[in-house]
Structure 1
């Protein structure tokens, strides 16, 4: 009996998370209410509060679940990587997968701005399971670094490049550059190429001519 209750509780939780995911993507985080989530999933509000104390905590769990899925696919490939360049491309494949989920990227940006005003939530969002971590990045590349350049700094630079792109992409403004007096959009693949080139330049020893 207890096992059936646990299975039912887990099913309820998954259905509530699925409903929340759909509504967040459609309406945004702040415009979606707990009542709408439970109604969409077909449950009473009490079912929600048996699993989470607030909508904020639900969203943090959704972030963690999404990043776990992305990271599992990334880590399986990283276990077979043989060079810094290969590792960098695997990492950027992982980052691009997040960008391609446009609704999610926008909601994540919205939640990040919202969380920045709440000290406790801002501290939660700073934990590595909820964000792109320079420390995690350093662990992924450190075995392929040949120089004394800090891998954490490479991680910080890549994070700045990626998160800057994600913000502009979510706002649908793009990156504007000057080229011979003309404006042009920088594509994500160009940012990837710059990040990989930077990692190789800083992380690998120069080969003799």
Structure 2
């Protein structure tokens, strides 16, 4: 494939992804068809299958790009992090960014339910390339802790807590808010990463860095 043809292919792929995301936000994952995506982007249906085998594969591609975008916003802060506490605060800011994007996380929750019936999609959804997972937590905390098993368990617990919070928000229970989530995650972090107990600064007294 020549350079110009490759650039055109990438442009088509991104335009299809943009069209899909717009429709997913408006109508949901299940109620958006491949034909609607290609029509909305102004392409023939065959263009879709040059890039993805299914709508699920497309959505995973969108998720990977969004995670890279969210993490890219935090990279400068991660490079300056000097403790587990610093990394925890950066992760909390990352989570709050997702919470504030309600139309996206509702589609994410819908797709998570969709993955229940598809082993391949379910397996990929657990990959750190697509979501905040135990593997991603291990990678973020690795420079500051020696026990990777604790970091993986913490990652799984925080993921469960965070996604449960998203469900509460989607159902509009109005019982929990972002500060409740923040405090719960800090308690989990202290419980599973003993290094925090000997940290020089307490999270209850330190000033939270800006997101």
TM-score (norm 2): 0.84
- Cα distance, 1:25 vs structure 2: 0.2
Q: Residue deviations 1:20-50, cap 9 Å, x none?
A: 0000000000100111111111111111111
Partner of 1:62: 62
Change (3 A) 1:76 1:120: same
SS of alignment partner, residue 31 of structure 2:
coil
- Cα distance, 1:187 vs structure 2: 1.1
Question: Matches of 1:148 and 1:125 in 2, distance apart?
Answer: 21
Larger mean CA deviation between 156-165 and 62-71 belongs to: 156-165
Q: 1:54-203, aligned counterparts within 5 Å? A: 54-145=54-145, 150-174=150-174, 185-200=175-190, 202-203=193-194
SS of alignment partner, residue 169 of structure 1:
helix
Contact 1:85 1:200 in 2 (8 A): no
Question: Matches of 1:58 and 1:52 in 2, distance apart?
Answer: 6
Task: Name structure 1 gaps, 5 residues minimum.
Answer: 175-184
SS of alignment partner, residue 129 of structure 2:
helix
Change (3 A) 1:156 1:126: closer
Q: Does 1:46 align with 2:36?
A: no
Q: Does 1:205 align with 2:197?
A: yes
Q: Residue deviations 1:41-90, cap 9 Å, x none?
A: 11111111111111111111001110111112223211101222221110
What is the root-mean-square deviation of aligned Cα atoms in Å?
A: 2.2
SS of alignment partner, residue 197 of structure 2:
coil
Task: Name structure 2 gaps, 5 residues minimum.
Answer: 200-211
- Cα distance, 1:16 vs structure 2: 0.7
TM-score (norm 1): 0.85
Question: Matches of 2:119 and 2:94 in 1, distance apart?
Answer: 29
Q: Which is greater in Rg?
A: 1
Question: Matches of 1:3 and 1:206 in 2, distance apart?
Answer: 55
Q: Residue deviations 1:133-176, cap 9 Å, x none?
A: 112212322443489982222222222221110111122224xx
